[in-house]
Amino acid sequence: MELRVLGANGTYPTAGHPAAGYLLSHDGTRVWIDAGAGSLIALQDLMDPADLDAVIVSHIHADHSSDLFPAYHYLRFGPTPRSGLPLFVPEGAAQRMTAYVDPDGGTFASTFDVRVPAAGEAYPVGALAFRFDRADHPVPTLLVRAEAEGRSLAYSADTGTDCDLVGLAAGANTLLCEATFQGVDKPAPHHLTAREAGEIAHRAGVERLILTHVLPTLDPKQSIEEAAAGFGGDVMAAAPGLEVLI
């Protein structure tokens, strides 16, 4: 599997740094995970979005979902119109998205084949297989695990500590984990500090930790140091253009 970071900013994009968005590829299968602001443009630098095999939007907060709306228009009116693109979202998300872009109904549902995954069940997408669980966040949010040929990637989306991210990520080759804050004080309980991300990676026994969703005002180098103190293994920070073999 190959992970390509489209954007990794937490909360809002900045110049040259889109919000959360990732392209996961394996053996010709390509899945766009989270559609934060700016990530669609970055995706188009790599491929025609109409050729995607699926999209996963972990939750409806704008820094993870807002580019699904221009993607909807691209798929309807772009050079290669597409219908029936599988879209994995948590419960309630599709209704709210549809109300925003398609209040009369019909075209959103035909553009995307909406799927609300159940916790623990396997969902094959081409050469990849996905499992999901519930994150600790104020709106329904998906934890994501992808597997292919014995390799695995776990993704935290946005979460606090009151969920089974350790279980979902257990033994994964790579954990892509939010690390919104630094230090010990958390302005919001439904996010993680870098140290907490490191401790979760340690408890899950993963090989590599990639920090993402760091606030744009923070220094990622400090986040890496704090996470490494809790993990003790390989830690890096996600940034646009980063390519990682899982």
pTM metric for this prediction: 0.97
What confidence score (pLDDT) does residue 104 get? 75
Amino acid at site 47: M
CB burial of residue 28 (10 Å; 0-12, 13-18, 19+): exposed
d(CA 246, CA 242): 12
**Tens of pLDDT along the chain (246 residues)?**
999 999 999 999 999 999 999 999 999 999 999 999 999 999 999 999 999 999 999 999 999 999 999 999 999 999 999 999 999 999 999 999 988 888 776 799 899 999 999 998 999 999 999 999 999 999 999 999 999 999 999 999 999 999 999 999 999 999 999 999 999 989 999 999 999 999 999 999 999 999 999 999 999 999 999 999 999 999 999 999 999 999
| Token digits of residue 36 | 């934060």
What confidence score (pLDDT) does residue 185 get? 86
Instruction: Tell me the CATH number at 226.
Output: 3.60.15.10
Amino acid at site 166: V
Q: How many domains does the chain have?
A: 1
Q: How far is the CA of 211 from the CAs of 79, 148, 181, 190, in angstroms?
A: 35, 22, 11, 16
151-155 and 142-148 strand pairing: antiparallel
What confidence score (pLDDT) does residue 106 get? 77
Q: Around Cβ 157, how many Cβ atoms within 10 Å? A: 27
Strand order in the sheet with 112-115: 112-115, 85-88, 54-56, 29-35, 21-26, 2-7, 243-245
Nearest to 181 by CA among 213, 153, 209: 213
* Domain housing 106: 2-245
Cα–chain-centroid distance for residue 118?
17
